[in-house]
Structure 1
Amino acid sequence: MRKTSLTALGRELLEKARQSAAGRAADTVYGGHEHHLRQTLVALTAGSTLAEHESPGEATLYVLFGRIRLLSGNTTWEAIGGDLLVVPEDRHRVEAVEDSSFLLSVVKTPS
């Protein structure tokens, strides 16, 4: 059993993101290559993005704090702290409207 404060880690990562030229920082809190489920805490400074990419499987974003946009094609969803977004299977990107931290949960599709 392992316990992690996502709020505390999100604030730590945001400090790292503020020091990064890319304006982002991340830490996998559960899973990895040996698991189907992978959960990664991501912090983005306002105006930073995760560039357009494809999802490796089913995924959700749970916003801990801040405000983000999830964009796919011509569709945009906004989320604030406490919101859960289901990530589309289509190519998508994430933009931080404010300094933000969110938990990305992905269930990888078996190869």
Structure 2
Amino acid sequence: MTKTSLTAVAHGQLATARNCPQNRSAHTVHGGHEHSLRQTVIALLANEHLHEQEHRGETTVYVLQGRVRLVAGRDSWEAVPGDLLSLPDGRHRIEAVSDAVFLFTNAVSVGIQSNG
């Protein structure tokens, strides 16, 4: 059993993003490429985004701080702390409306590799 303070990780990742030329930071808190479940805390400064991509399996974004926008084609959804977005099938990107931190979760069946 492990315990992780997402609040502490979020604060740390946001501080790292503010000192990074790319204006972003990420830390995997659970799993990884060798597991079927991967959870990563991602910080993006305002007006930054994750490039459009497609993930296999189930993918969610849980907003910890700030405001994000999920864009899939012509559709978009905004989310604030406490909101959970289930990402649709197909290509999508995540934009930071303000400085933001979110928990990105991707679960894939064994034998399927994620593109992200």
Residue 66 (structure 1) aligned with residue 66 (structure 2): yes
- How far off is 1:61 after superposition? 0.3
Residue 8 (structure 1) aligned with residue 19 (structure 2): no
> CA separation in 1, counterparts of 2:98 and 2:106?
23
- How far off is 1:59 after superposition? 0.3
| SS across alignment from 2:10 | helix
- How far off is 1:56 after superposition? 2.8
- How far off is 1:22 after superposition? 1.4
- How far off is 1:83 after superposition? 0.2
Residue 97 (structure 1) aligned with residue 97 (structure 2): yes
1:12-47 deviation line (CA, Å, top 9, x unaligned): 000111111211100010001221010001001111
> CA separation in 1, counterparts of 2:59 and 2:23?
23
Unaligned runs of 5+ in 2: none
| SS across alignment from 2:14 | helix
1:62-98 deviation line (CA, Å, top 9, x unaligned): 0011000000000000000000000111100000011
How much is the aligned-residue C-alpha RMSD, in angstroms? 0.9
The percentage of aligned residue pairs carrying the same residue is 51
Indicate the structure with greater strand content: 1
> CA separation in 1, counterparts of 2:40 and 2:104?
5
Q: What are the within-5 Å matches in structure 2 for residues 21-60 of structure 1?
A: 21-60=21-60
TM-score (normalizing by structure 2): 0.92
**Number of aligned residues:** 111
Unaligned runs of 5+ in 1: none
Q: Which runs of 4+ in 1 moved over 6 A?
A: none
